[in-house]
Amino acid sequence: MRYLPLTKDDRAAMLDRIGVDSIDRLFRDVPHSAVVQRNVFDLPDTQGELAIERQLTKMAGKSKSAGSLPFFCGAGAYKHHVPSAVDHLIQRSEFLTSYTPYQPEIAQGTLQYLFEFQTQVALLTGMEVANASLYDGSTATAEGVLMAQRITKRPKAILSGGLHPHYAETVETVAGLSGTVTRSPVTPGKAEDIIALIDDQTACVVVQSPDVFGLIRNLKPIADAAHAKGALLIAVVTEIVSLGLIEPPGAQGADIVAAEGQSLGVGLNFGGPYVGLFATREKYLRNMPGRLAGETADAAGKRGYVLTLSTREQHIRREKATSNICTNSGLCCLAFTIHLSLLGEEGFLRLARANHARASALADRLADIKGVELLTSSFFNEFTLKLPKTAASVVDELAEKGIIAGVPASRLLPHDKEARDLLIVAATETNTDEDCDALVHALSGAVA
């Protein structure tokens, strides 16, 4: 099916008005040697909906979806129930097929939901101001480091060993160009002494809580130590639902929060698109990357919203911009906002409690298995187990039996000897008693 409304007659009439006899004349600046014929491409011709549906449904069928079996993966992406209203609303034409709100008079829908999103992010993280999203949690963390380097005019970023390794690698890719990146030791289940590494060359300390192993970190002492040396604390949150139960980074002294909002509204999506949340203190506002929706009034005095403080951005500042980012996560922000609006205060807090209760009960049962040790003494909905054999082989064995047991730490840290026996398990409100029974039973068998 091709979405091409022009007919042969239309094309002829249009060529006539233009004053050329063939479409090739309009491509006359293309070097002759570079013009290719259709048959150069080893690709199929147009196909109809039915044929495509068949092919892609068959292809997708070769994956085991998370909802089709007992599923316990986390490590930066979490399976939560997204209420049906969310997907229905984001598919409305006016949301799905609208553009960036550069003409605010006909984009108040988008601008207002971005303003609501910014407010929600600030409330969740306990920070003063938030932007209208970045691509995801990992790039948001990298942007946070660049921002801290700009503010403090210092080169060094210290990354906690509990920071998701993908996030750490992403930070190294960009921040390594403008400064140095130091990683503190990886200590699964324990808080490493990151304070000892802070010096007067430090721009920022980056600490994830709950960390990649699930451990809840106490941010306040780190924030205090960083501030004492003139550095900033960047708090990273990969499971945003945790903020329904744990003290938010803003209340613990964080200067910048970089988080992943995927848990609300977005779904697993095999890694993307996700939604990067970014919040900071008002005094750092003009250093913040990303779009911002601001409240104002129109010529008739009605309240309205516009993109604002654009002089930070690439289309104006060009090489002096705070970031090169243009596109945000648009529709994913909307999904997040709708999901959180449906939850409300009561629902969000209950959701967080349900997650912790489920994970806590499961952790108890798994730790009871002979040879299995629970490493994380405090956690939200994700914890790490030490197994008596390599975790990757256990995961593969259980996958054969139709259970996705979690993420082996070696997938993220292939060279860490200690990580080989570690399994990171997440349990959310979507895991049933039967799922947990199946995991306990299968894991017992696998490590016996």
Partner 1 sequence: MTMNNQGRPTSSGSVNENEMSTISGDRGLQHDVSLIFELGRPGMTGVDIPEVQMSDARLGGLRRKGSVGLPGLSEPEVIRHFVRLSQLNYSIDAGLYPLGSCTMKHNPRLNEKMARLPGFADVHPLAPQQTVQGAYEAISELMKWLTTLTGMPAVAMSPKAGAHGELCGLLTIRAAIEARGEKRNRILVPSSAHGTNPATAAVAGFVVDEVPATEDGHVDADALEAKLGPDVAAIMLTNPNTCGLFEPRIKEMADAVHAAGAYFYCDGANFNAIAGRVRPGDLGVDAMHINLHKTFSTPHGGGGPGAGPVVLSDRLAAYAPLPLLVHDGNEFRMIEHADEATDGAKPFGRMCAFHGQMGMFSRALTYMMSHGADGIRQASEDAVLSANYILASLKDVMSAPFGEQPCMHEALFDDSFLEGTGVTTLDFAKAMIDEGYHPMTMYFPLVVHGAMLIEPTESESKESLDRFIHVLRTMALEAKAGQTARFEGAPRLAPRRRLDETAAARKPMLRWKPKDLPQAAE
Partner 2 sequence: MSEVRFTDQHEWVRLDGDTATIGITKHAAEQLGDVVFVEVPEAGRKVGAGGEAAVVESVKAASDVYAPVGGEVTEGNAALADEPAKVNADPEGDGWFFKLKGVNKAEFDKLMTKAQYDEFVKGL
CA 111 to chain centre: 21
- Quick one: angle between helices 433-447 and 391-400, nearest 10? 120
* Smallest distance, partner 2 to C-beta of residue 70, A: 54
For the segment 320-359, give every residue that binds partner 2 (CB under 8 A).
320
Beta 422-426 vs 407-408: how paired, if at all? antiparallel
Q: Is 244 exposed, middle or buried (0-12, 13-18, 19+ CB in 10 A)?
A: buried
- 129 φ/ψ angles, rounded to the nearest 5 degrees: -150, 145
For the segment 260-299, give every residue that binds partner 1 (CB under 8 A).
267-273, 275, 282, 285, 291-299
For the segment 266-295, give every residue that binds partner 2 (CB under 8 A).
286
Residues, the chain: 448
* Smallest distance, partner 2 to C-beta of residue 308, A: 8
For the segment 142-171, give every residue that binds partner 1 (CB under 8 A).
146, 164, 166-167, 169-170
For the segment 2-21, give every residue that binds partner 1 (CB under 8 A).
2-7, 10-11, 13-15, 17-20
**Binding region for partner 2 (CB under 8 A) out of 254-262, 266-274, 306-314, 340-348:** 306-314
The span from the CA of 179 to the CA of 204, in Å, is 11
Contact 425, 384 (CB under 8 A): yes
Two structure tokens written together for 366: 């798994």
Q: Does 100 bind partner 2 (CB under 8 A)?
A: no
**Binding region for partner 1 (CB under 8 A) out of 154-162, 226-234, 405-413, 437-445:** 405-413
432's contact among partner 2, partner 1, none, with CB below 5 to 8 A by partner kind, is none
Residue of the chain from 316, 349, 357, 399 that contacts partner 2 (CB under 8 A): 316
80's contact among partner 1, partner 2, none, with CB below 5 to 8 A by partner kind, is none
Q: How many CA atoms within 13 Å lie on the side-chain side of 258?
A: 33
CA 21 to chain centre: 51
CA 69 to chain centre: 24
Binding characters for partner 1, 48-87, by CB under 8 A (x = yes): -x--xx-xxx-xxxxxxxxxx--x-x-xxx-x---x-x-x
Question: Site residues (CB under 8 A) for partner 2?
Answer: 286, 308, 310-311, 316-317, 320
